[in-house]
Amino acid sequence: MFDFPAFFSNHPLLLAPMAGVSDEAFRALCLEQGADLAYTEMVSAKGLSYANEKTRHLLSLAPGEERVAVQLFGHEPDTMAAQAAWVERQMGEALAYLDINMGCPARKIVSKGDGSALMKEPALAADIVRAVTRAVEHPVAVKFRRGWAEGDETAPEFARRMEDAGAAMVAVHGRFAEQLYRGSADWGVIARVKEAVRVPVTGNGDVRCGADAAAMVARTGCDAVMIARGAEGNPWVFAQARAALAGKPEPRAPDARERVAMARRHARLLAAREGRNIVRMRKHAMWYMAGLPGAAAARGRINACVDVEDFERVFDELLECVRAHGESGESPVLLPSSPCS
């Protein structure tokens, strides 16, 4: 079984569970670039209970992916426990640990009492953790936020309750649920949670480059760093973060050709998973191409792409535009060196 304590002893880098983003294709690229573990997209326990094929498909492994963390969401203890046990049976040795989503602020999630809505129901949240930990042998983690609304500084106490209920790790995002993704993440709450519990603490929020990851660990004492939006169109952030945490120079930012090459690989991996219709690649293509010559003009064409051939044509056009704007073999056109610069 996955060595949970050893894993969290060396500041692992985790790819966050992001709906519509953290599929096998994206996980494979992030793992290749240095992520120590990737989460699945968040998985509905209710959907699993109905044997929904689309929901079950979220549990598919990426090529070469030996371990994955599975995040479940829901608010019914019995359903969460039963489906956690089902996931454990299905995943076998590929399952690193289970995670319970108590941090998603999306309206369609919280309106049903799921995600960060559970921060307003700490007793129910603890019941869910107890039910799941009793139902499975794997460790159970909980991901949550600073609190529900501004002034609701409940994360440390919430973390203690989750630990008492059996959570083996807690991950905290430094924004309130009502903030969604506006403003800045408060890393101070991560430090306060770290002081409040004995289990490993994972920090999350506003890690966009290697220096951010190192700063988060230094300021908060967190045991692991979870990267979400900072990895969108930028799987290289994991290599940069690993170097920064080791006190080494960060690898240079990818040049335009490397950006396009990664986008091309991403599209092909997604096509191998999804078939001809890979419209979900549109947002990834936008992220990869941000800042490149011709990217703004290509936006409309990207939004019309459906299959891998469509994306290949746009990528070829972008490379031609890059070449036309003066890139030479000796002085590549670089994107900004990092979001921290």
d(CA 82, CA 140): 14
Distances (CA, A) of 185 to 146, 204, 209, 261, 307: 9, 8, 15, 32, 37
d(CA 109, CA 50): 18
E-strand ranges in the chain read 13-15, 37-38, 43-44, 68-73, 95-102, 140-147, 169-176, 201-204, 224-227
Q: Is 17 labelled as part of a ligand binding site?
A: yes
Identify any residues that bridge with 173 across adjacent strands, giving them in sequence order.
145, 204
Q: Is 104 a catalytic residue?
A: yes
Q: Is 33 labelled as part of a ligand binding site?
A: no
Q: Is 185 labelled as part of a ligand binding site?
A: no
Answer for the pair 59, 65: CB distance below 8 angstroms, yes or no: no
List the Cα angle 35/41/43 in 5-degree steps. 140
Q: Is 229 labelled as part of a ligand binding site?
A: yes
**Helix, strand, or coil (residue 2):** coil
Q: How far is the first Cα of the chain from the last one, in angstroms, to the nearest whole number?
A: 41
Angle between helices 188-196 and 155-165 (to 10 degrees): 40
What is the DSSP secondary-structure string of 37-53? EEBPPPEEHHHHHTT-H
DSSP 206: -
Catalytic: which of 30, 104, 222, 305? 104
d(CA 247, CA 255): 23
Please enumerate in sequence order all residues whose Cβ is within 8 A of that of 44, keeping only pairs 6 or more positions apart, or say none. 52, 55, 72, 73, 74
Q: Is 332 labelled as part of a ligand binding site?
A: no
Q: Is 173 labelled as part of a ligand binding site?
A: yes
Point out the annotated binding site: 17-19, 71, 143, 173, 228-229
Catalytic residues: 104
Point out the annotated binding site for FMN: 17-19, 71, 143, 173, 228-229
